[in-house]
Amino acid sequence: MKANFVNSRNVALLVAAGLLAGTGTAVAADTPAPSASPTATAKPLTDYQKAKAAYSVAVEAYISNRKASQEQYKTARDAFALAKKAYGDARKPILEAFKAELTAAKTAREAAIAAATTAEAKLAANTAHKAAVAAATSKRDAAIAALGAAPVEPAKPVVGTRPTPPAKPTKAPKAS
Q: What are the pLDDT digits (tens) for 109-131?
A: 999 999 989 999 999 999 999 99
Q: Is residue 101 within 8 Å of 132, Cβ to Cβ?
A: yes
Low-confidence ranges of the chain (pLDDT < 70): 1-6, 10-42, 44, 176
- Chain segment 53-79, per-residue pLDDT in tens: 999 999 999 999 999 999 999 999 999
- The structure's pTM equals 0.58
For residues 48 and 168, the answer to whether their CB atoms sit within 8 Å is yes
- Confirm if 57 and 49 have CB atoms less than 8 A apart: no
Alpha-carbon distances, residue 112 vs 27, 69, 102, 109 (angstroms)? 130, 62, 15, 5
